[in-house]
Chains A and B, each alone.
Chain A
Amino acid sequence: MNCISIKNNQTILLSDIPESNYESFYDMNLELVLGHTERHCVNYFGYKAGNNIKLICCIADDTTHEILVSTCLVHKAHALESFTPQLLCFEKFEREIHENFGINFIDHPWLKPVRYAFNRADMSQTKENYPFFSIDSEELHEVGVGPIHAGIIEPGHFRFICNGEQILHLEIQLGYQHRGIEQLFLEKKKLLQRATLAEDITGDTVVGHGTAFAHAWESLCGFNAGYDIEFARTIALEMERIAIHVSDLSGACTDIAYQLGSSVFGRLRTPIINFMQEWVGNRLAKGLIRPGRNQFPFTPILAERLTQVLDIFEPQFKEMAEKLFSLPSALSRFERTGVVSNDDAISIGAVGMTARMTNLNRDIRSSHPFSLYTDLDHIPVLKRHGDVYSRIQVRKEEVEQSIKYIRKLISEVPVLSVTENMGTTPAPDSFCLSLVEGWRGEICHCALTDSKGELMMYKIKDPSFHNWLALALSVRNNEISDFPICNKSFNFSYSGHDL
């Protein structure tokens, strides 16, 4: 095999990644993923190397806990054979490479723009001339929604093709949130700026993206984070999971017009995020995750306080959840609505919660453990049906699981370790890949350094990058009035996708 096997958060020399020509690169990665559900592509991207483009493909293997990295050098004028006809999960990665560098992929079914990056290769591609799928029929009609939506949410455009009230097809056009974050990572030289940028990738996954950056940076600098640092990160990750899952349960209740559930779950998020404020001074934990430092140590007093918060939260959450899950009018809206099959989830390369609700076991906490998950023996929550009901079941059970983990962790609060100072420059000519399971799923950050140890490329992949297609598939043959509940039950990130 012409690839190198690395572990999560391992730094290697760029020259250690075996390079091959595109044909063998293609054959090898195809063979790795095709028919192997335990393997999937966690990141596939290109960067400029002189006049050529270097492609790096990272395939994670969940059973052996390794990541297989391979590379190849291509010229942008050469058209390449596309993975997509055989592996749909490469669809967006190839579109992104096409958008950024102008490389053409033969047989790609839809080489459409991904996010209209400011530095895209073809500036003539604009939002206005996006090639939507359309249909010539007098019976069918199209419905366009967005970029600005009815509620207070991020922008994106949805184009439905409907037969009466029934959705036949949904196409999602994103890119409205593009702020050029990957480029800013290279331009902003101060570590604090970069850590703050990581927190701003998407404000609902502050801890997830913050931790992914911190792990990548610490690994590049050869710094071993002490137990207390990882302890704080693990608690914060699980708190973030609880907060968002609860608020999404509230959203699901809102979308089926169940007022009691909407209000109660909505307000149950507050004690969780208010605890984050007590701990770090920000309700969404901005300011907590800093590479090489334990900015806000988790003290025994905080542990006692958190136990109090959870003691009140847990019975109230259980009471409301039991009511919701036994309410026939609610269940009839959740069950068999917005189904994504297990086959579809595999083919689009779904990750995280979206994969787990179709019985596809993808959870970085168990497959490529980081922070304290090695000791927690995490068993992912799996559901089978792939409908809205499965999604809210996963959320409910993950909230309960997170509470269990937090209680277990805070029963023994670690003493502050004396941390050595982290080196200021990362290792030169290196590559590091960091995987973190955020509440949405797998977050992947890849950092590449040049000969001086400066960041040369910083590649961010939010789980939504894989998963948006699941929403498009789930609404097929559903009524258009069920779109909000389908959308909310996934709750994908616009800003994480658009960067």
Chain B
Amino acid sequence: MFENIKIVYHQGKQFIPNVRTAVVPGIFRGRPVISLEKVNEEELIATCPTDAISGNPVRIDLGKCTFCGECAMRFPEKITFTKNYKLATNDHDRLVIREGEDKAVEVDPEKVRKEIHRILGRSLKLRQISAGGDNSCEMELNAANNVQFDMSRFGIDFVASPRHADGIVITGPITNNMAEAVQICYDATPDPKIIVLVGTDAISGGLFAGSPAIDRSFLDKYPVDLYIPGNPAHPLTIINGLLDLTRKKKYLKTAF
């Protein structure tokens, strides 16, 4: 008993008190900012492994970006990655960062379905499906529920059965071999339900886009409620994204 208390004492307080304002250590590659500096656009576009960068004006699609940082390393005067981890949005257009703009990536409250705030605003149970995910986003989703990030303090949990879930979280580009399982799992989830895509692979297919081994037709059929970019997405990106989607602004202030 005393040994257990000693261990707990030595661990100290580990939880992050405020997940909205926490600062991530080191050189985190979060929301990029593109300056108006003139560079060789063709070369810049060719640098990107996933064609996330397009020209005239220069844009980065966070849904395709693997956050490898190569563009910022080659063209430091043009592109910088900030430590801002708030990258999630419900509007695909907002994932595109344009040159000369330095504004937050946010959930568009107008586009959030009414029933999400009303029914899922205080308790959200999610069923995760790994559909070709490489286990990195899966590990970060698990980390979102560890003692540090502690997502369950907001009433957001992952559950085993889709019957108990309010939505599905997809990681990975959706392989041919998982397409059917994704559909079955979605069908088994009761209404109203949300679809959340976590990670570059899920949002655009990433490097696997166009591979004959993946089948993304599921995503053509249903609207996506939240895009959480990253390779893998950081736990703070995930938690903030889910909070922004499901909570009304007035509740967000009192949540901490």
Contact = CB atoms under 8 A, between A and B. Distances in A.
Interface of A: 116-119, 127, 147-148, 150-155, 175-180, 183-184, 188, 190, 192-193, 196-197, 200-204, 206, 247, 260, 263-264, 266-267, 270, 274-275, 277-284, 286-287, 295, 315-316, 319-320, 323, 493-495, 498
B136 A118 contact: no
A192 B49 contact: yes
Contacts of B129: 148, 155
Contacts of A278: 25-27
20 contacts: A147-B178, A152-B128, A176-B175, A177-B132, A179-B173, A180-B208, A202-B134, A260-B4, A260-B8, A275-B26, A277-B25, A277-B27, A278-B25, A279-B26, A279-B27, A282-B67, A284-B139, A286-B68, A319-B7, A495-B134
A55 B3 CA distance: 58
B89 to A, nearest CB: 21
Given A264-B7, A323-B3, A152 B134 contact: no
Nearest to B128: A152
B148 interface: yes
Nearest to B179: A176
Contacts of B148: 267, 270
B229 interface: no
Contacts of A148: 127, 129-130, 181, 185
A204 B138 CA distance: 10
Nearest to B213: A180
B207 A270 contact: no
Given A175-B177, A202-B135, A287 B67 contact: yes
A266 B147 contact: yes
Contacts of B140: 283
A22 B66 CA distance: 45
A185 to B, nearest CB: 11
Contact of A196 (B49, B138, B146): B49
Contacts of B6: 319
Contact of A153 (B4, B7, B130, B206): B130
A206 B139 CA distance: 13
A183 B25 contact: no
Nearest to B212: A118
Given A153-B138, A283-B140, A286-B231, A267 B14 contact: yes
Contacts of A202: 134-135
B53 interface: no
Interface in B188-216: 201, 206-208, 211-214
B49 A176 contact: no
A152 B143 CA distance: 10
Nearest to B127: A148
Contacts of A494: 135
B7 A260 contact: yes
B141 interface: yes
A127 B177 contact: yes
Contacts of A275: 26
Residue of A119, A197, A278, A495 with highest tally of chain B CB at under 10 A: A495
A463 B254 CA distance: 49
A267 B175 contact: no
B8 A183 contact: no
B230 to A, nearest CB: 9
B167 interface: no
B142 interface: yes
B160 A151 contact: yes
Contacts of A147: 178, 181
Interface in B11-47: 11, 14, 24-29, 47
A206 B69 CA distance: 16
A242 to B, nearest CB: 15
Nearest to B12: A316
B131 interface: yes
A177 B172 contact: yes
B135 A281 contact: no
B227 interface: no
A153 B131 CA distance: 10
Given A178-B213, A264-B11, A287-B68, A190 B49 contact: yes
Centre residue among A193, A274, A284 by max chain B CB count within 10 A: A284
B70 interface: yes
Among B141, B158, B177, B208, the most chain A Cβ lie within 10 Å of the Cβ of B177
B160 A117 contact: no
Nearest to B142: A152
A301 to B, nearest CB: 12
B133 interface: yes
A251 B39 CA distance: 49
A260 B4 CA distance: 8
Contacts of B212: 118-119, 180, 183
Contacts of B84: none
A179 B132 contact: yes
Contacts of A203: 133-139, 232
A295 to B, nearest CB: 8
A4 B241 CA distance: 56
A267 B27 contact: no
A20 to B, nearest CB: 34
B19 to A, nearest CB: 14
Given A154-B130, A281-B28, A179 B208 contact: yes
A214 to B, nearest CB: 14
A202 B181 CA distance: 21
B127 to A, nearest CB: 8
Contacts of B214: 179-180
Contacts of A277: 24-28
A155 B131 contact: yes
B130 A274 contact: no
B80 interface: no
Given A154-B130, A176-B175, A320-B7, A270 B49 contact: no
Interface in B144-165: 146-148, 158, 160
Contact of B49 (A152, A183, A193, A493): A193
B4 A323 contact: yes
B240 interface: no
A467 to B, nearest CB: 16
5 interchain residue pairs of minimum CB distance: A203-B136, A278-B26, A180-B213, A150-B160, A203-B134
Contact of A154 (B47, B127, B138, B146): B138
Contact of A201 (B66, B134, B158): B134
